[in-house]
Amino acid sequence: MINFEPTEGDRKILDQVRTEALICRKYARYYDENEHEFPPDELEEAKGKPNVYAMFAGRGESDSGLGVMSMLISAGQTWGDYSVRMHRGAGGLGNAALRAAGTPEQNQKWGDVTLAMAITEPGCGSDPSQVQTTAVLDGDEWVINGEKIFVTTGCRCDGVVVWATVDKSAGRAGIKSFLIEKGTPGFVVAQKEKKLGIRADDTAAFVFTDCRIPRDNLLGGNEEVQQKGSGGFKGVMKTFNMTRPGVAAIGIGMAEAALDFTRDCLTEAGFEIAYGGGLHTAPAVVDKFQRLEAKYEAAMLTILRAAWLSDEGEPNNTEASVCKAKTGTAVREITQGCIEILGPMGISREHLLEKWFRDVRITDIYEGTGEIQRMIIARALCGYTRKELN
Amino acid sequence: MISFKLEEEQEIARDALREFATEVMRPIARECDEAEKISEEFLAQSWELGLVSTQLPEAYGGGGEARSPITNAIILEELAWGDVALAIAALTPATFANAIVDHGSDEQKQAYLPLFCGEAYHAAAIAVNEPTVAFDPSIPRTVAEPKGDGFVISGVKSFVPMGDRASHFLVVARNNGGLDAFIVPRDATGLSVSKNEQNLGLRALPTSTLELERVELPASARLGGAAGCDVRRLLDNSRTALAAAMVGLSRAVLEYAVPYAKEREAFDQAIAQKQGIAFKLADMHIETESTRWLVWKAAAQLEQGIDATRAAHFARSYAAEQSMWIADQGVQVLGGHGFIREHLIELWFRSARTISVLEGTLGI
């Protein structure tokens, strides 16, 4: 049955997330201003307390699905702060790739370590077919050469899934994923990136120089280069079907924080925020605020839709792009609009609003820009291939 | 539990109405709009589907299925995809009947619900709109005053659907500082019903202006009896329904624009293959989807009996903004062809502007 109310069991978890988020928020400004310090793996306040995901044990069939709940938890956590967590979660984007494409042996060997995902290069972002990093088979080893940037959890991961081409002439079909352990000779973490927002976040640049790894470290184990346009690349892209809703959820949590802060300020200033009234009954600021709230609601529902489809085992490729595109736009408009509503107060670093404005900006860029998402959606609508619409 | 899962019956209803909209409504939409006339045959055909009576209690001759705002939202999206004017005409009796089911006293149910369980289309309508600047349904100018055991109502209502034939009107009025709804029979002394209004869009839908000049009503005319009713809830219901119709309209525009853009070539390429057009289509899809989920959320809250005012506000206001935007983009994708009446896009463009101001331009 169509229903948008969390169950009592869901609420218990989400309330805990909120409690933790309020604690994390206290550290938000510090780690934003001191971007070269990492937030601790475990906060003082977290000592001896279980991770929120431990609460998933014993949930009933009538409770919301894991995908849906993951979205709400992510949003609930970033409502506190993008980077600071009670307990730093194990796993990175590379772990999602491992689960999606790894062999059982690889999952067993690498499943418990934190894996980053390195795709972007100085000269290639949204078009991964332009990957310049190479992997050459030399005996029983792959030799990796190239540079990667914007690697999330790059400094603190134990290993990384790297996209490299085994055959440049094959285009996208030549791209394979490789598991590379930290400490492998020839693998250097060049620097932590300096950014507009999410400054506390661990984002690194990697350099690989004749970095040799075992032949078995090819993710999924398939060395064969398929013919151009045979669809082999699609498997690689499947990783994004939950990561796109995931980063959308991360963005929407911060947008919600901005709305909550703005609502409190407006209410304190004596503005009544009532619903159901007409155009001439509300002041312009309230009207503007409610428009932003509606954008939040709309974006959140597209995220839940994509996650719910995944929980149901249904394809959600287009929906993942819909929620990513929708949220990428919404969070920018929301945080920019909240600052506009609050005026000079909105830009003061005494409050977190200016930080949320900076932090959400990445939402429409990483995991595929808004433009890429629209391309994917339009292709699906028109039944076009990548070649027909690019 | 958060879920987007349709019940099996909802899927069946959706599929059946999609077929009805395609085969019965679309082919006559243009003709009815040009003639500014509803098709009597269509009203009879839609009545046969049981759209109005299915959810009325068995005790009064209805189908006895549980009243479901979610199912209604799904139904409305499909019918409005066919044509908004025809969809509203078909479902106007339901707005009246459902208000009686939700808020009426036992006597009122007994008196009015059987009217909608007969063989032939029977019209009765809710009268909410008023011809004032920036009309706000929560502060109508129409006023009820107590007189003896009953009430005297005065005011003007406009855009009352099926006003040409409705046997009863549910008139929303101010009463003692609050809001109430009153059942006004067509032949009430002091009530005059105008001839059909002439509007920008939804021309096939007969709408009337009601003038109520000291219309005297018995106490039993007050919806909900002595206790009155929660008019806010009534408005939440109709706003959600209007928003659902806007989703259908948006989808109609998108589904027309996509094949057109694939067919139409410029500079040796289908215009859909150009990012300028492709991104428009993508955004039209994104916003159609977004709006649908807002509608479903409001409908689900209504169905669960929890406060839905905020969700209905968002659904209705977002739908109004986006359906107008989508219809506007639809015209743009078709270019000159969007402007000529050979295509339905221009009709939808007018429909979008019309439906999105009904029951008041909400804050957003």
| pLDDT tens readout for residues B259-303 | 999 999 999 999 999 999 999 999 999 999 999 999 999 999 999
Whole-angstrom CA distances from B29 to A170, B22, B281, B358 are 52, 11, 24, 20
Measured between CA atoms, the residue of chain A closest to residue B313 is: A276
Average pLDDT of B253-258? 98
Whether A87 is in a domain gets the answer: no
Query: Do residues B196 and B278 share a domain?
Result: no
Residue A377 falls within a domain, yes or no? yes
> How many whole angstroms separate alpha carbon B228 and alpha carbon B182?
9
pLDDT over 70 for what percent of chain B?
99
The answer for A 117-156 residues in CB contact with B (under 8 A) is: none
Whether residues B136 and A68 touch (CB distance < 8 A) is answered with: no
For residue A388, being part of any structural domain is answered with no
**Burial (Cβ within 10 Å: 0-12, 13-18, ≥19) of residue B186:** middle
Whether residue B235 sits in one domain with residue B222:
no
Whether B253 is covered by a domain: the verdict is yes
Both A248 and A357 in one domain: the answer is yes
Same domain (yes/no): A69, A97: no
Q: Which of A1, A63, A294 sits opposite B314 (nearest CB)?
A: A294
Residue B362 lies in a domain: no
B345 lies in the same domain as B236: yes
Q: Are residues A206 and A342 in the same domain?
A: no
Instruction: Indicate whether A108 and A56 sit together in one domain.
Output: no
Q: Do A279 and B136 touch (CB under 8 A)?
A: yes
DSSP state letters, B158-190: EEEETTTT-SEEEEEEEETTEEEEEEEETT-TT
- Helix residue ranges, H only, chain A: 8-33, 66-80, 93-101, 104-110, 232-237, 240-268, 284-311, 317-342, 344-347, 353-359, 370-382
B260 and B351, same structural domain? Answer: yes
Residue of A nearest to B284 (CA): A378
Separation of alpha carbons A227 and A235, rounded Å:
14
Whichever domain contains B210, its CATH number is 2.40.110.10
Q: Please tell me if residue A296 touches chain B, with a CB cutoff of 8 Å.
A: no
Q: Looking at the domain assignment, is residue B26 inside a domain?
A: yes
Q: Of A227, A245, A261, which one is at a domain's C-terminal end?
A: A227
Query: Distance between CA atoms of A73 and A84, rounded to whole angstroms?
Result: 14
Residues A250 and A378 in one domain: yes
Q: Which two three-digit tokens encode residue B278?
A: 């492709």
Q: What is the pLDDT of residue B332?
A: 98
pTM: 0.93
CA B162 to chain centre: 12
Tally the domains of chain B: 3
Predicted pLDDT at A279: 64
Where among B61, B84, B116 does a domain terminate?
A: B116
Nearby residues of A65 by Cβ (< 8 Å), 6 or more positions away: A307, A308, A311, A312, B2
Query: Using the beta-carbon criterion (under 8 Å), do B285 and A322 form an inter-chain contact?
Result: yes
A283: closest chain B residue by CA: B363
Pick from B60, B84, B116: which residue ends a domain?
A: B116
Return the CA Rg of chain B: 20
Last residue of a domain, one of B227, B254, B280: B227
> B187 and B74 in one domain?
no
Scored b (16 or more CB within 10 A) or e, B310-341 reads: bbbbbbbbbbbbbbbebbebbbebbeeebeee
Residues of chain A with pLDDT under 50: 230, 232
* pLDDT score for A47: 83
A349 touches A342 (CB < 8 A):
no
Length of chain A: 390
Q: How far is A379 from chain B (nearest CA, A)?
A: 8
Residue B2: inside a domain, yes or no? no
Per CB-CB distance under 8 Å, the chain A contacts of B362 are 276-279
CA distance B25 to chain A (A): 24
Please report the pLDDT score of residue A125 as a whole number. Answer: 80
- According to DSSP, residue B52 is labeled T
Q: Which residues of B touch A294 (CB under 8 A)?
A: 294, 314, 317-318, 364
B181 and B246 in a single domain? The answer is no
Token duo for residue A4: 């948008």
Same structural domain, A366 and A267: yes
A149 plus A168 within the same structural domain: yes
Calpha distance A279→A286 (Å, rounded): 10
DSSP A351: S
Q: Which domain holds residue A341?
A: 237-382
Is residue B327 in some structural domain?
A: yes
Touching check for A284 and chain B: CB below 8 Å? no
Judgement on whether residues A126 and A65 belong to the same structural domain of the protein:
no
Q: Among A122-126, B223-227, B313-317, B346-350, name the one with the lowest average pLDDT.
A: A122-126
What is the mean pLDDT of the segment spanning B6-25? 97
Cα gap B150→B311, rounded to integer Å: 35
Q: Which helix (H) or strand (E) holds B241?
A: helix B231-263
B88 and B20 inside one domain = yes
Are residues B222 and B311 located together in one domain of the fold? no
Task: Please tell me which of the candidates A2, A286, A322 has its beta carbon nearest to residue B5.
Answer: A2
Is A223 a residue of the active site? no
Chain B residue with the nearest C-alpha to that of A384: B273
Residues A318 and A352 in one domain: yes
- CA angle at A206 for the pair A355 and A231, rounded to the nearest 5°: 95
Centre a 10 Å sphere on the Cβ of residue A288 and count the other Cβ atoms it contains: 18
Final residue of a structural domain among A199, A227, A255: A227
Residue A272 covered by a domain: yes
Judge if A211 and A268 occupy the same domain.
no
Residues A220 and A118 both lie in one domain: yes
CA distance A139 to A144: 13
Helix, strand, coil: what percent of chain B each, to 5? 55, 15, 30
Dihedral pair phi/psi, residue B127, rounded to 5°: -110, 100
Measured CA to CA, the distance from residue B208 to residue B193 in angstroms comes to: 6
Q: Do A278 and B318 touch (CB under 8 A)?
A: no
How many CA atoms, within 13 angstroms, populate the side-chain half-sphere of residue B53? Answer: 21
* Sequence-distant (≥ 6) Cβ neighbours of residue A264 within 8 angstroms: none
Pairing of strands B168-175, B125-127: parallel
Same domain, B287 and B335: yes
| Alpha-carbon distance values, B132 to B200, B277, B323 (Å) | 17, 39, 24
Model pLDDT, residue A240: 62
In sequence order, what are the beta bridge partners of A161?
Answer: A117, A179
Angle between helices B84-103 and B26-35 (to 10 degrees): 90
B91 and B172 both lie in a single domain: no
**Cross-chain CB nearest to B363 (options A2, A282, A389):** A282
Query: Parallel, antiparallel, or unpaired: how do β-strands B143-147 and B150-161 relate?
Result: antiparallel
- A75-127 residue pLDDT tens: 999 999 999 999 887 778 898 889 888 999 999 999 889 999 999 999 888 77
Give the count of beta carbons closer than 10 Å to the beta carbon of residue B72: 24
Q: Do A133 and A174 share a domain, yes or no? A: yes
List CB contacts (< 8 A) between B286 and chain A. 302, 322, 325-326, 377
Whether the predicted pLDDT of B315 surpasses 90: yes
DSSP state of B137: T
Q: Clarify whether residues B83 and B181 are in a common domain.
A: no
Q: What are phi and psi of B160, to 5 degrees?
A: -90, 115
Q: Is residue B360 part of a domain?
A: no
Average confidence score pLDDT of chain B? 95
Domain boundaries, position B165: 125-227
Q: How far apart are CA B252 and CA B284, in angstroms?
A: 11
A382/B262 CB distance under 8 A: yes
Residue B245 belongs to some domain of the structure: yes
In a shared domain, residues B240 and B340 = yes
Residue given tokens 């219901």 in the structure block: B237
> Average pLDDT for residues B213-220, to the nearest whole number?
97
CATH number at residue B110: 1.10.540.10
Q: Do B364 and A325 touch (CB under 8 A)?
A: no
Amino acid in the structure at residue A229: G
CB pairs < 8 Å spanning A and B: 173
Q: How wide is the angle at C-alpha B251 spanned by C-alphas B246 and B254, nearest 5°?
A: 130
CA-based nearest distance B41→chain A, Å: 34
Quick: pLDDT tens for B145-199. Answer: 999 999 999 999 999 999 999 999 999 999 998 999 999 999 999 999 999 999 9
Catalytic residue among A181, A350, A367, A388: A367
Output the CA torsion A198→A202→A203→A209 (10° steps): 170
pLDDT in tens, B220-241: 999 999 999 999 999 999 999 9
Domain count, chain A: 3
Is A278 contained in some domain? yes
Question: Rounded CA gap, A301 and A316, in Å?
Answer: 14
Q: A60 at the B interface (CB within 8 A)?
A: no
